[in-house]
Amino acid sequence: MKKSPTKPPVQQQNFAFEGCDLPPFRVPGASEAYETTFGAAYVGDSVALMRAIPTGSVDLVVTSPPYALHFKKSYGNVSKSEYVEWFKPFAAEVFRILSDAGSFVLNIGGSWNQGQPTRSLYQYKLLIALVEEINFFLAQECYWYNPAKMPVPAEWVTVRRVRVKDSVEHVWWLSKTPHPKASNLKVLKPYSPDMIRLNARGVRETVRPSGHVIRSSWDKMKAEGAIPSNVIEDECAPDDMLKFGNNAANDPYTMGCKEAGLTIHPARFPSALPEFFIKMLTDEGDVVIDPFAGSNTTGAVAERLRRRWLAFDLADEYIVASKFRFPEHFALNGK
- What's the chain's Rg over C-alpha atoms? 21
Q: Among 75, 124, 137, 143, indicate the residue that binds ligand SAM (CB under 6 A).
A: 75
Contact 8, 329 (CB under 8 A): yes
- Closest separation between CB of residue 184 and ligand SAM, Å? 24
Q: How far apart, in whole angstroms, are the C-alpha atoms of residue 44 and residue 181?
A: 29
x-or-dash string of contact with ligand SAM, 36-55, rule CB under 6 A: ---------xx---------
Q: Among 138, 188, 195, 315, indicate the residue that binds ligand SAM (CB under 6 A).
A: 315
- Closest separation between CB of residue 96 and ligand SAM, Å? 16
Residue 218 is given by DSSP the state: G
Beta pairing partners, 313 = 43
Contact 83, 39 (CB under 8 A): no
Contact 52, 29 (CB under 8 A): yes
For ligand SAM, the closer of residues 152 and 221 by Cβ is 152
- Closest separation between CB of residue 146 and ligand SAM, Å? 12
Q: Among 5, 35, 36, 66, indicate the residue that binds ligand SAM (CB under 6 A).
A: 66
- Closest separation between CB of residue 305 and ligand SAM, Å? 16
For ligand SAM, the closer of residues 99 and 297 by Cβ is 297
Q: Is the peptide bond before 153 cis (omega within 30 degrees of 0)?
A: yes
Residues in binding contact with ligand SAM, number by CB under 6 A: 20
DSSP 237-276: -HHHHHHH-SSSTTSHHHHHHHHHTPPPPTTPPPTHHHHH
Q: Does 332 bind ligand SAM (CB under 6 A)?
A: no
For ligand SAM, the closer of residues 245 and 294 by Cβ is 294
Q: Is the peptide bond before 266 cis (omega within 30 degrees of 0)?
A: no
Closest CA to 49 of 61, 66, 37: 61
Q: Which of helix, strand or coil describes residue 56? A: coil
Q: How far apart, in whole angstroms, are the C-alpha atoms of residue 304 and residue 17?
A: 14
Q: How far apart, in whole angstroms, are the C-alpha atoms of residue 319 and residue 332?
A: 15
Rounded to 5 degrees, φ, ψ at 15 are: -110, 140
The type of residue at 68 is: A
For ligand SAM, the closer of residues 68 and 98 by Cβ is 68
Q: Among 64, 99, 111, 175, indicate the residue that binds ligand SAM (CB under 6 A).
A: 64
- Closest separation between CB of residue 58 and ligand SAM, Å? 16
> Which residues, 244 to 273, sit near ligand SAM by CB under 6 A?
265, 267-269
Residue nearest to ligand SAM (CB): 294
> Which residues, 285 to 314, sit near ligand SAM by CB under 6 A?
291-292, 294-295, 297, 312-314
Query: Which residues are near ligand SAM by CB under 6 A?
Result: 45-46, 64-66, 75, 265, 267-269, 291-292, 294-295, 297, 312-315, 318
